[in-house]
A and B are shown apart, each in its own frame.
Chain A
Amino acid sequence: MLYVILLSMLSLKEKDRPVVRKLLCAGCCVRCVLRFCCVGISSAYRRSYQDIHKELLAFVIEENSPSDDVKTDEPPNKRIRVEEDCVTPAETETETDSDICPVCLGVLQDFCDSTFAKQVSDAVKKQQYEFDSLVLTVSLPAQLSVREHSCWLHVKKEVREKSMCLGKDDVIQVKDAFKWAVQGKIGQELGAAVLANSPCEVSVGFVHPETEEDCHFLANTCPGCFKPTKNKASIFTRMAVVKALEKISDEKFSKHYPCPPKKPNTGCTALDTTCLHTSVFIAGRYNKFSRELPQTPWVIDGERRMDGSVEELIAAPLLSSFRADGFNFSSSGREDVDVRTLGNGRPFALELLNPHRSKFNRTEIKQLQETINQSSDKISVRYLQIVTREATSRMKEGEEEKTKTYSALIWTQKAIEDTDLEFLGNIKDLKIAQKTPLRVLHRRPLAVRQRLIHSMSAVYLDTHHFTLKLCTQAGTYIKEFVHGDFGRTKPNLCDLMKTEADILELDVESVDIDWPPAIPD
């Protein structure tokens, strides 16, 4: 009767028996036993440790009942002896032995109970995320792969006898067994669904300093697998260890490392639970009405040159509403500190890092836009909306081919008349060659770029001033086109007008990029 129940609850087959026995003898925990029996039913791992333990013992004993009609070539008395040796409480074994599993180093023992699930949930709750789903990620000590390999070699023969087609890959991974055991409990505590994919990632990690040296012999057997990397503290990364284990022969491995792995004295230590929500992207168009406002904070020699910036004015209300850790601002081109951006504004996108709240409806976003607009008269924002990461690339797409229109206040050294300006309106698609302007040459490569001035028109103001409207290819440096930048932009407005000329004010009138989509009021 009991035998039937066992088969259904843990889904163990008759041929698992030698595997189970061998693993229990090696001191493996019951969940590791299930793993190496390739039990792929998640509910089996969720049951309490004591329940699984009880049933596994019964399963091994059941075999010896006279009613068992399964053939076996071992005499019954030998089998019983094996059980008495191994499947007995730890106290009766040698004193130094602990009950920590030598394969998972305790990860599938105490850490699978509801106390640990509660501990993880509490750490998440403390950070006050608003989410309805999460994904659990687990990081394990690299040496667990060595121990897993050792255990695999130990029972390989028995597993293969069960079914020829089973291999190391069919063994359930510690990671998966751990997730199956606890993630439901964590989800329940947090009232969120635990999915394979979710923007909200809860990470737990384990370390086991006692056995760190397990991996070291691999550096001699496969030196090519372990190359020092800049950001890693140790060369024994999980990836490198797995790679080295793929290359090593079974004989060589057994020579350097015991099979099954030795029991440790201590179990793993859990690292602090961390939470990370994927970025939320917000896009819109902005106007800049000030000639004393940089787009991004202006810092020279570690000192701020001006108060505020476009990105900070836009980001501040968003950061606090989304409760994000930080942001990255990007835009379709940029204007200088002293340049205004008028008209329909310039497209921008803001990546909000690790937002603790990410769901906002249209009305709420509209209110946020209102908050930004009321916070300062130096900027304003329109078409504010949540977009995908992929969509933000449309802002930069074809940036070079797009056109921009400008309005510039020009001073000329030579006295001018209305009629001196007429010829400018007749110039179409003027090709100019611009060397990287001196003002940005310290941070950009030196190059000569061909640009097009599509059209110009002039409005006469007085004998030394006029307004020049320009429609140009994006990426044209307007100031340099006007004053010539030591003759490094050719031809320039001075050449065209045969006088020294300078630009006193510049406004961007339009940025011809149709993204993000307009939102009607």
Chain B
Amino acid sequence: MEDSEKKAPSVIDRYFTRWYRTDLKGKVCEDHCILQHSNRICVITLAESHPILQNGRKIKNINYQISDGCSRLNNKVSGKSKRGGQFLTEFSPLCRITCTDEQEYTIFSCIRGRLLEVNEAILNKPDLLLEKPSTEGYVAVILPKFEESKSITEGLLTREQYEEVLMKRNQQEEPC
């Protein structure tokens, strides 16, 4: 039965498409992964190659207060149409994560859309982000506009393109 472990497709494989954005804002290896559900909803997560997930780093602090006037924790949506959610563009910051080595990283929205929720569970348990970055350690849920549900992923990398980027990086042996 060992191989059934590999065979069984996960919830992500069944219902989501994986998209990537690498070297965000020119910062080497700061890769993000966008999981898009067939219903167009997107879950923003760290890609497995993100520096936070390397070399046994530990998280000191996660901060959703992205500016003096704006905290993602104040985001509230109501009704079926999700009125009142903060509107995000590709480079809207979602949160800042500081590691125990004082390195600070900004996680970005990567796509245009309405913010539905941020993951508050990682505030109390930052290890979730390190242990299960693509499921329970997600960062935010975003609802793209209906008419943009296809176009928002146009500038993103597919899983294959992402893997190519990783291969090239390894050949150049540029450490993250």
Which A residues have a C-beta under 8 Å from some C-beta of B? 300, 411, 413, 415, 435, 438-446, 462-465, 483-487, 500, 502, 504
Contacts and interface: CB of A to CB of B under 8 A. Distances in A.
SS class, residues of chain B in contact with chain A: loop
B80 A462 contact: no
B135 A487 contact: yes
B15 A439 contact: yes
Contacts of B116: 441, 446
A439 B121 CA distance: 20
A413 B5 CA distance: 6
A440 B15 CA distance: 12
Given A438-B39, A440-B39, A445-B79, 5 more contacts: A435-B117, A442-B37, A445-B80, A446-B82, A462-B1
Contacts, number: 65
A464 B5 contact: yes
The 5 closest A-B pairs by CB, nearest first: A487-B136, A442-B39, A463-B1, A483-B11, A411-B8
Contacts of A504: 8
B162 to A, nearest CB: 20
29 contacts: A411-B4, A411-B8, A438-B39, A438-B41, A439-B15, A439-B39, A441-B41, A441-B116, A441-B143, A442-B37, A442-B40, A442-B41, A442-B143, A445-B79, A445-B80, A446-B77, A446-B82, A446-B116, A462-B1, A464-B4, A464-B5, A485-B11, A486-B43, A486-B138, A487-B132, A487-B136, A487-B138, A500-B10, A502-B11
B59 interface: no
A147 to B, nearest CB: 48
Given A439-B39, A445-B80, A486 B136 contact: yes
Contacts of B138: 486-487
Given A486-B43, A502-B11, A464 B1 contact: yes
B117 A446 contact: yes
A444 B8 CA distance: 29
A445 B38 CA distance: 18
A444 B10 CA distance: 24
A487 B8 contact: no
Nearest to A479: B11
B77 A502 contact: no
Interface string B24-43: 00000000000001111101
B88 interface: no
Interface in B48-68: none
Interface in B111-157: 116-117, 119, 121, 128, 132, 135-136, 138, 141, 143
Contacts of A487: 119, 121, 128, 132, 135-136, 138
A438 B141 contact: yes
A286 B105 CA distance: 55
Nearest to A463: B1
B95 to A, nearest CB: 16
B114 to A, nearest CB: 11
A484 B1 contact: no
